[in-house]
A and B are shown apart, each in its own frame.
Chain A
Amino acid sequence: MNQSHALTCLFARALRVDRGGRVIVRNITFDLCAGEALVALGRNGAGKSTLLRAIAGFLPISDGELSHDGGSDTPLPELCHYVGHADGLKSALTAAENLEFWARMLARRSSSEVLSPLQALERVNLKRLADFPVAYLSAGQKRRVALARLFVAPRPLWILDEPATALDVASQEVLSEAFARHRGAGGMIIAATHAPLGLTDAAVLQLDAAVRAPGGNG
């Protein structure tokens, strides 16, 4: 009865993503199965964020096919957590209120191990700041609150765009542990990151900027 992890495999076949009529990434092919991780690498502007946003369903995929097994016909965006450059936090609300809201909004039926907002904040070592408005938190603390979202509403696929930005060493360790636990429970991770974060055994997707027309800076 582990339905939140019912997603078993994710297949990408020759994906191409265009923005503003220009090809940003093309020919992306990968398989990702339960418990595996994929790290997208490439220089700045190689299209890492574009690819992750397309997988999360925010950008249309121009060509190729993205399909998944399991997850009982749920659309892929509803199976994934996306943590990007913007934290998705309202600065007027407290950290706990922000998490409470996202727990309600992103919850899926019969999810297995749900942490309460306070427990999630404890895991990222921010429990004492739970009642502070997010506006007063530092960049790294905001990022930790955003990452705590991963724990309050379990979803099988984590899509993380530079998750380690502004994190201190201790928090990066917390994140690596969370990755290991998530993969141990059959979750998947797609990350664009240059920090190790315990993903050394992950498949690497090298985004080759050279395939694009010269002069593009997508």
Chain B
Amino acid sequence: MKQSPLSALFWRELRIARSVGGGGSMGLVFFLILVSLTPFAIGPDLNLLSRIGPAILWIAALLATLLGLDRLFQSDADDGSLDLLLTASTPLELLVLVKCAAHWMATALPLVIASPLLGLTLAMEPASLAGISLSLLAGTPALTMLGAIGAALTAGLRRGGLLMAVLILPLATPVLIFGVSSAAAASGGTVPFHIPMLILCALSLAAVAGAPFAAAAALRARDA
């Protein structure tokens, strides 16, 4: 069966992320460590932990997502693949979108799946656990896509990872705000759950629609 260029790219990215040194699982391990360190820092106050649990999980997810993103385009720029992708007849915007989808599958989806388990260690209530998973599922695409813009801007630089984090973290603020508030609203509060959740979905959809164009433009101008 003939694979289309896009599915070929998708499976190639997943295979590379899964291979040794691909960094696919590093984000998850980082997430795990960050979340399990927090109770040691804050102390065994279960009320406090369950209250700030969603915030901790979201900040940890944000940092874990950023961790692997700097290599999203840089490794392709280093080995020359990026130049060759520019000569493909498939538009670069679609290639960026597919690369991000594969990256999200390899790095962010494991965080979504692991978050309820880690929420237990933060003494979060069941409703809140469901809320954090749903909010991460809806919000991490926005993080990946925003990060892709930063990754594209810094693709030509050595040690561009830190610069990327500085560029992207301010842009991720709205995602963080509505992510945490929808997770918090799931366990009761003044705001119904669906309001912050819908805004979070809107942020993700806007990022998915807009970021590929920004990232592709940055990649095209990389060498000029």
Chain A residues at the B interface, C-beta cutoff of 8 Å: 19, 53, 56-60, 74, 77-78, 80-82, 84-93, 97, 100-102, 104-108
Contacts and interface: CB of A to CB of B under 8 A. Distances in A.
Interface stretch (B87-95, B141-149, B169-177): B87-95
A78 B89 contact: yes
A86 to B, nearest CB: 3
Contacts of B19: 92-93
A106 B223 contact: no
Contacts of B3: 104
Contacts of A107: 5
A85 B22 contact: no
A102 B12 CA distance: 10
Contacts of B2: 104
B79 A89 contact: yes
A22 to B, nearest CB: 13
A80 B79 contact: no
A106 B16 contact: no
Contacts of B90: 105
Interface in B163-216: none
A106 B12 CA distance: 15
29 contacts: A19-B224, A53-B83, A53-B223, A56-B87, A58-B223, A77-B87, A78-B89, A82-B83, A82-B87, A85-B80, A86-B79, A86-B83, A88-B80, A88-B81, A88-B83, A88-B84, A89-B81, A90-B81, A92-B20, A93-B15, A93-B16, A102-B84, A104-B2, A104-B3, A104-B5, A105-B5, A105-B90, A106-B84, A106-B87
A77 B87 CA distance: 5
B8 A78 contact: no
B127 interface: no
Contacts of B79: 86-91
Contacts of A58: 83, 86, 223
A105 B88 contact: yes
Place the interface of chain B in its size category: 20 to 34
Nearest to B9: A105
Interface of B: 2-5, 8-9, 12, 15-16, 19-22, 78-81, 83-90, 223-224
Contacts of A89: 79, 81
A105 B98 CA distance: 13
Contact of A81 (B20, B21, B22, B87): B87
Given A92-B16, A93-B12, A106-B84, 4 more contacts: A58-B83, A84-B80, A100-B8, A105-B90
Contact of B22 (A60, A82, A92, A101): A92
Most B C-beta atoms less than 10 A away, residue of A77, A93, A104: A104
A60 B8 CA distance: 29
Nearest to A92: B19
Contacts of A92: 15-16, 19-22
Given A53-B223, A92-B22, A105-B85, A87 B80 contact: yes
A19 B79 CA distance: 21
A105 B8 contact: yes
B134 to A, nearest CB: 34
